[in-house]
Amino acid sequence: MNTHNEIYSIDIAGLKRSLPIIEIAPGLKIAVLNILGDTELVESAAKHLNSLLNQLDYDVIVTPEAKSIPLAYALSVISKKPYVVLRKTQKLYMGKCLQAETVSITTGKPQTLFLDNKDRKLIANSNILLLDDVISTGSTSVAMRKLLNIAEGNIVGEAAILTEGDRSQWEHIYSLGHLPVFD
């Protein structure tokens, strides 16, 4: 739990935000971006990301559950491309799902991503844009890539509002900014 009330100020897509800094492991702190409920930021970020992605030939936006869902929806509205959510729990109505495992930096626990059977046809042989709110370690992206390769999707790009950590490893990501990791 963050007891020092530390914040990291950042400008994202022309909007200023103060992100809480939390300790996720002994001696390791991150600034947390939570876009849920921040419609102004979601819409502005989607608009700015869409302008970065206008030269990218993609057919479908794919995002993990849950914080990046509003961003995927907003980008879908602007780009007129459908979006698919990779779920973190399997529901009975999802049919025969494909799945892949990941460990998220924000939860620190193994998670499984599931591709709903209804979305498999949309993914197969389509050009895919992977979308997340923040890319930190890339573990979620690895699981998404594994799952979409099984589903025979062609990943053509990856985007996020922000990247985090070692900036040099995220040069291929379309993003609106970068967050440092704090000691």
- What CATH number does the domain containing 94 carry? 3.40.50.2020
Instruction: Flag whether 31 is in a domain.
Output: no
Of 133, 128, 86, the C-alpha closest to 111 is: 86
Task: State the Cα–Cα distance between residues 144 and 131, nearest whole angstrom.
Answer: 10
Mean pLDDT on 140-164: 93
In contact, 153 and 124? CB cutoff 8 Å:
yes
Instruction: Flag whether 3 is in a domain.
Output: no
Task: State the Cα–Cα distance between residues 124 and 122, nearest whole angstrom.
Answer: 6
Instruction: Flag whether 53 is in a domain.
Output: yes
CB within 8 A of 149, min separation 6: which ones? Answer: 155
Name the residue type at position 1.
M
Q: How many domains does the chain have?
A: 1
Tens digits of per-residue pLDDT, 4-38? 589 999 999 999 999 999 988 888 889 999 999 99
Cis-peptide, bond into residue 66, ω within 30° of zero: yes
Strands 127-135 and 60-64: parallel
Instruction: Flag whether 7 is in a domain.
Output: no
In contact, 38 and 18? CB cutoff 8 Å:
no
Tens digits of per-residue pLDDT, 105-116? 556 677 788 888
Model pLDDT, residue 47: 97
Find the domain containing 139 and state its range.
Answer: 38-177
Tens digits of per-residue pLDDT, 73-96? 999 999 999 999 998 776 767 667
Helix (H) or strand (E) segment spanning residue 49: helix 39-52
Instruction: Flag whether 24 is in a domain.
Output: no
